[in-house]
Amino acid sequence: MNVVWPINGWFFGPFALYTYFKWGKLKTNDSQKEDTRGKHAKVFVSTSHCSSGCTLGDIIGVPIVALTAMTIAGSVLFAHYVVEFILAYIFGIIFQFYAIYPMAEEQGIAGSIKAAIKADSLSLIAFEIGMFGWMAIVHFWLFQEPPKPNEATYWFMMQLAMIFGFITSYPANWILVNKGIKEEM
DSSP assignment of 23-84: IISPP-SGGG-S----HHHHHHHHHHHHHHHHHHHHHHHHHHHHHHT--BTTBHHHHHHHHH
Question: Percent of the chain beyond pLDDT 90?
Answer: 54
Nearest Cα to 119, choosing from 168, 53, 37? 53
On the question of pLDDT at 42 being above 50, the answer is yes
Residue 2 pLDDT more than 80? no
**Residue 170: predicted pLDDT:** 95
CB atoms within 10 A of CB 114: 14
Is the model more confident about 19 or about 167? 167
User: Using alpha carbons only, how large is the chain's radius of gyration in Å?
Assistant: 17
Q: Whose CA is closest to 65, among 148, 155, 165?
A: 148
**Which of 136, 122, 173, 167 has the alpha carbon at shortest distance from 15?**
167
Q: Would residue 13 count as lying in a domain?
A: no
Residue 112 forms part of a structural domain: yes
What mean pLDDT is reported for the chain? 88
15 assigned to some structural domain = no
Residue 5 belongs to a domain: no
CA angle 70, 71, 74 (to 5 degrees): 155
Mean pLDDT of 1-26: 79
Read off the pLDDT band of 155 (50, 70, 90). Answer: very high
Give the domain range for residue 82. 40-178
Q: Is residue 7 domain-resident?
A: no
Could you give the number of structural domains in the chain? Answer: 1
**Domain assignment present for 85:** yes
The whole-number average pLDDT for the span 51-57 is 90
The pLDDT tens digits for 116-128 are: 899 889 999 999 9
pTM of this structure: 0.86
Residue at 27 is within a domain: no
In a domain, 3, yes or no: no
